[in-house]
A and B are shown apart, each in its own frame.
Chain A
Amino acid sequence: MNWLMLGGSAAAILALSGAAWWLRLGRDVKIGSVEEAADAVEHSLPGFVTGGAVVGADGLAALAVDKRGERVAVVKRHGAQLAVREVGWKQIAATADGIVVDTGEKRFGGRIAVAGVDQLDMRRLAPQSMKA
């Protein structure tokens, strides 16, 4: 390894990432349906059987509740893929713009907004679990 190789490698990295951006790869990906959100959750959380799910109006996040209404998961768009976290009901709050989930993980995105989803939608998903 020398400085020429290091510089050349850095240039190649920027060129390849730039090519991916220029080709519009992985752009404008959204959560297309509740089925897609449920599928992502069930493949990420062992034993989770989705009872219902709701996708934010902007397609950037979703919530899924298991059949018993006990477990809840948030789905977020991560680049061209979806990433999932199981959260507690206390981490979910209703705001004027929609539901906000505080994942407690800064690197995961911290607070994730599920736009256009309200408390009523959540009650429909899990009547016995959504308090307040």
Chain B
Amino acid sequence: MEPALPDPVDYAVPGFVVLVLAEMLWAWAKDRRRYCPRDTLTSLGLGLGSTVAGALSAGAVFAIATWVHGFRLLDIPYAWWAFVLCFVLDDLAYYWFHRSAHRVRWFWASHVIHHSSQHYNLSTALRQTWTGFISLGFIWRLPLFLIGFPPAMVFFVAALNLVYQFWIHTEAVGRMLRWFEAVMNTPSHHRVHHAVNARYLDRNYAGVFIVWDKLFGTFEGERDDDRPRYGIVHQLGSFHLFWAAFHEWIGIARDVRAAPGWRAKLGYLWRPPGWSHDGSRDTSETIRAKWEARGR
């Protein structure tokens, strides 16, 4: 008998609203440039759209998860230790999902929405994708079902992971206790992730535990002499809701159509964002190389 697990996000939403309001008051007192009404409206609109898109695809994702679970290696019970283990392994799966979302343009086309604001505040946390199902973001969790974690348990801990990641999208919190910064993802670590500074590009993919970045060589600490600048390399310069949601998909379609030959066409799908068949554009690597050549 499977227990009926609640959706933690439903319970967290009122808290999200109160904390966004509190952060706005902080911005009002400290620096009024840290919020912009149109940016907030776009972020929250994208958040609502993401919830609707998620609800529409939830049935299909759950059906796939249940089907994969049918081939499970172990029968993992609904025990407290299983929830803890599931949470940790789900966070590891999240790290690889997130890393691929920045390194493969097909996945980036969906994830870029979350990075498209030039602001870094709690409303940015809610700026979420509408096309996660199309970009196959759920495949990274399939190994968990194959191991034997029940789908309901995995989706429960995944929601907890999502709730944790809300509060780290802020400039209102500086650095935290040393032990906490060493183990957990924090506002400081995640500011680095959202920054477009050459030093910070494609760093700190962690969801909850920053140890994954330290383990896999993608960690970068926030520096006082290199203040993070937020957004994407090619800033949108627009608050248009649908443009924010679909601009990278449109970019991919244009590039694939114009590319000479299948090798180049496929390159625009699976190569990193910024890759081009003639080398005329910049990727994270070339941006960092130019920055280093300039003497940093």
Q: Which residues of A are interface residues toward B (Cβ below 8 A)?
A: 1, 5-6, 9-10, 12-13, 15-21, 23-27, 29, 43-44, 46-47, 49, 76, 78-81, 83-85, 105, 107-109
Contact = CB atoms under 8 A, between A and B. Distances in A.
A85 B286 contact: no
A47 B35 contact: no
Given A78-B235, A83-B235, A107-B240, A46 B198 contact: yes
Interface in B25-54: 25, 27-28, 32-41, 44-45, 47-48, 51-52
Interface in B41-100: 41, 44-45, 47-48, 51-52, 55
Q: Which of A1, A9, A16: most chain B Cβ within 10 A?
A: A16
A61 to B, nearest CB: 12
Interface stretch (B174-182, B207-215, B258-266, B287-295): B287-295
Binding site secondary structure of chain A = mixed
Contacts of A16: 17, 20-21, 24, 40, 44, 123
A25 to B, nearest CB: 4
B196 A27 contact: no
Interface of B: 10, 13, 17, 20-21, 24-25, 27-28, 32-41, 44-45, 47-48, 51-52, 55, 118-119, 123, 196-198, 229, 231, 233, 235-240, 243, 247, 282, 286-287, 290-291, 293-294
Contact of B36 (A44, A47, A81, A83): A81
Contacts of A27: 32
B32 A26 contact: yes
Given A25-B35, A107-B237, A47 B294 contact: yes
Contacts of B25: 23
Contacts of A29: 33
Contacts, number: 123
B36 A80 contact: yes
B24 A20 contact: yes
A129 B13 CA distance: 55
B21 A19 contact: yes
Closest 7 CB pairs between A and B? Answer: A26-B36, A83-B237, A79-B36, A25-B35, A1-B55, A81-B118, A13-B44
